[in-house]
Amino acid sequence: MALPHTLDGPTVRALVEGRHGDPFAVLGRHGRLIRTFQPGAKAVRVLDMANKVVAELTRIDDAGLFEGDVDTLPEGSRYRLAVDGRVIEDAYRFGNVLGEMDVYLLAEGRHRRLYEKLGAHPRTIDGVDGVTFAVWAPNATRCSVVGEFNRWDGRAHVMRKRIECGVFEIFVPGVKKGHHYKYELLGPHGELLPLKADPVGFRAEHPPQTASVVSGLVERAWGDQAWMAERQRRHDRHSPISIYEVHLGSWMRVPEEGGRYLSYLELAERLVPYVQQMGFTHIELLPISEYPFDGSWGYQPVGLFAPTIRHGTPDEFAAFVDACHQAGIGVIIDWVPGHFPSDSHGLAHFDGTALYEHADPRQGFHKDWNTLIYNYSRTEVCNFLIANALYWLDRFHIDGLRVDAVASMLYLDYSREHGEWIPNEFGGNENLGAIAFMRQLNELVYGEYPGAVTIAEESTAWPAVSKPTYLGGLGFGYKWNMGWMHDTLSYAGREPVFRRFHQNDLTFGMLYAFSENFILPLSHDEVVHGKGSLLGRMKGDRWQRFANLRAYFGFMWTHPGKKLLFMGGEFGQEREWNHDQSLDWHLLDDAMHRGMQHLMGELNAMLRTTAALYEIDSEWTGFEWIDASDSEQSVITYLRKAKDGGIAVVACNFTPVVRHGYRIGVPLAGAYAERLNTDHASFGGSGVSNGGLVHSEDVPWHGRQQSLRLTLPPLATLVLVPA
């Protein structure tokens, strides 16, 4: 005998309007009853696993709500639904997605592998193929997953709320890889919010479309075992590191096909051999986490867990990293935990409240970038960011994270006037939550992924950025030396005749060169916003501009600190970088540009093979001035030292005047070979040299018993080593 209709009017209305807070308590099988909501359906039957009709359900609301007695179906038996003749699995017959330990760790903000549970994961449950969806939205009154599989109808798959941790979850049978989806949420007061992309989505649609795409975690048979075994040594402070910074969308394009981007697989075929040929040890990628606006270069990401689809799928990105490693090249990615854009499909006001950001704009809004600031005082937010950092190291074998805009995270009053910020609990301007977050991040990265490295882009005098946390530092492995970059580029951009008044710009950096583990950065920031290219900053005629830049590169590659150069600088890009265009590779038809590129290859080769230039980069014992005071002739000379006592002698002449008979004191008697001369004819120079070999003389100079009598080429850097 059929049971009477059992639901009251308000419950029916809540179900058909998609406002029911706990649909699993009503839909699915409950004792003798099965209920299902199939929007717009005319008839629903219950089938057993042999596809035999068990019951014809009664439509109790015209919107598509059905109910019926299935007392002939044994309790716990599997069943299917025939909806207007189409056989489907019932999403509401499946149990919890998250285990109790997952719920506990998510609630505590300590689930370091939350990407294994949140997001969209293809799974087989009870013999049924489908996808589990889980998203953190604790203040939402309802959350549904919508997509092409349910006609984007938020009433169809309302999710179960795990109130213990604020996560909504559901297993949707029949969903497959490649299906597009978003989340439809009702805010705390029942208000309908804009559709949201998955914060832990692993793949996204091509911009400007904004849906997430079912992908699942990358599963790859990696071929980089040799690299991973060597990685810790290669990242040591005593190893040579030379980084090629790349924006994948503009390094090279395909003009024959409308100037399209190269794919990750094409980049593996073209970029990797180029970097290997040029002798760089690492590639650093501008952010590859999915971002909506090309003009942000990736620094305003929306999908932190999704490699941008602009160049291919997550699996193809993993293949690119694998190719780099097999070629002996490390991969660093720029990572942006400091802010996020306010796009309506992103994290902003995610569940109808300031969930990821601060509610008060004095804490939560970057007026410089029109972005929102993460709330580092919230454990779940820090857990989200830390899990994301570990995700790149875990699933993609990324070797390093260059953390963007650290200064903006450290200071509550960053780029704010009086009254526009809120002091911390002690009345100071330090962001205590961000400091704790960065320390925890670095402890986990170095603790769980030996050989991985973190790098801070930090432009202030904040102390101990690259010192261990147990010594009171922030725990980064390296810090960009922004002061060195600013001062020395200012010097290099001056007319040579005026440089004698600004020698301090070259030498001042040595006062703090060993206070941190520094990387010397000539990054993308130095070739945009009207600054011109590196070559364009140099003064003088064409020959002098090239010579200036060659001499500057020689100075940089012999100065204490690891090296970073943005793409295009290696061959003397003439124009300012434009993210919408390829680099000007046609310039290599010109001998001067080819010479610049040849020099960069030789600088990297010299760096890798000359221990004095890299072994003691972060300590005073690796450097000694010979003479920093010859400002009248704009010459500086210094020694670099190796652990075994080996030395390299460096002389930089920053004027277009050849200096004959220029004497410098040296610590060792004997012959010195000209290891590198940036004025060599093969680099486009004038060819002034010392004949390849110079013998010391028993003439005391610069406080040393031996000295060399050199010819200093014009606008050039010389490197000499004991023969």
Residues in the chain: 723
Distance CA(122)–CA(216), nearest Å, equals 6
**Using H for helix, E for strand and C for coil, what is the string for 500-569?**
HHCCHHHHHHHHCCCCCCEEEEECHHHHCCCCCCHHHHCCCCHHHHHHHHHHHHHHHHHCCCEEEEECCH
Q: Are 156 and 150 in contact (CB under 8 A)?
A: yes
Q: CB-based burial of residue 4 (10 Å sphere; 0-12 exposed, 13-18 middle, 19+ buried)?
A: exposed
What are 154's two structure tokens?
A: 């938020």
Main-chain dihedrals φ then ψ at residue 540, nearest 5 degrees: 100, -175
The alpha-carbon radius of gyration of the chain (Å, integer) is 31
Beta bridge partner(s), residue 576? none
DSSP of 440-471? HHHHHHHHHSTT-EEEE---S--TTTTS-GGG
Whether cis (ω within 30° of 0) applies to the bond prior to 188 is: no
> In whole angstroms, what separates CA 360 from the centre of its chain?
27
Is-catalytic flag, 404?
A: yes
What does each C-alpha distance from 299 to 340, 545, 660 come to in angstroms?
8, 32, 50
Which member of 184, 224, 457, 602 is catalytic? 457
What does each C-alpha distance from 565 to 278, 297, 544, 570, 574 come to in angstroms?
12, 17, 21, 8, 15
Distance CA(603)–CA(614), nearest Å, equals 12
Longest dimension (CA), the chain: 116
Distance CA(6)–CA(279), nearest Å, equals 74
- Closest alpha carbon to 283 in 570, 617, 666: 570
Beta bridge partner(s), residue 130? 123, 173
> What residue spans of 51-98 are helical by DSSP H?
none
Q: What crossing angle do the helices spanning 264-278 and 314-326 adopt, rounded to 10°? A: 20
Total Cβ atoms within 10 A of residue 554: 26
Report angle CA 438, 443, 448 to the nearest 5 degrees. Answer: 130
Which member of 69, 90, 404, 487 is catalytic? 404
DSSP of 200-244? T-S-BPSTT---EE-----------HHHHHHHHHHTSTTS--EEE
Residues forming the active site: 404, 457
